[in-house]
Amino acid sequence: MPFLPNVLMCNIDGTQYYSSKKISCEHCLHKEHKTGEKTYSHAVLQGAIMHPDKKQVIPVMPGSDPKYRWK
């Protein structure tokens, strides 16, 4: 597989890690269904540094500083 020498990839993937129809907080995403029911959730965009020739993957910690949160 051709690859740039001395270059690592940072792959990203989004996931939802919390979901509830009853419990929510001020930072929750919310989805209103056609039935009028609401679902509250939290999601994250997670990165990981990797190389195609290596088995090791280095996860990148998502930011937790409130000043960087989307409003």
CA–CA gap between residue 31 and residue 40 (Å, rounded): 7
Query: Looking at the domain assignment, is residue 34 inside a domain?
Result: yes
Q: Which residue has the higher pLDDT, 15 or 7?
A: 15
CB 51 within 8 Å of CB 9: yes
Q: Which of 69, 19, 22, 14 is nearest to 42 (CA)?
A: 19
Rounded distance, CA 58 to CA 56, Å?
7
Say what the pLDDT of residue 66 is: 62
Q: Is residue 12 part of a domain?
A: no
- Rounded to two decimals, the pTM is 0.57
Is 41 within a domain?
yes
What count of other Cβ atoms lies within 10 Å of the Cβ of residue 40? 17
Host domain of residue 25: 17-50
Position with higher pLDDT, 63 vs 54: 54
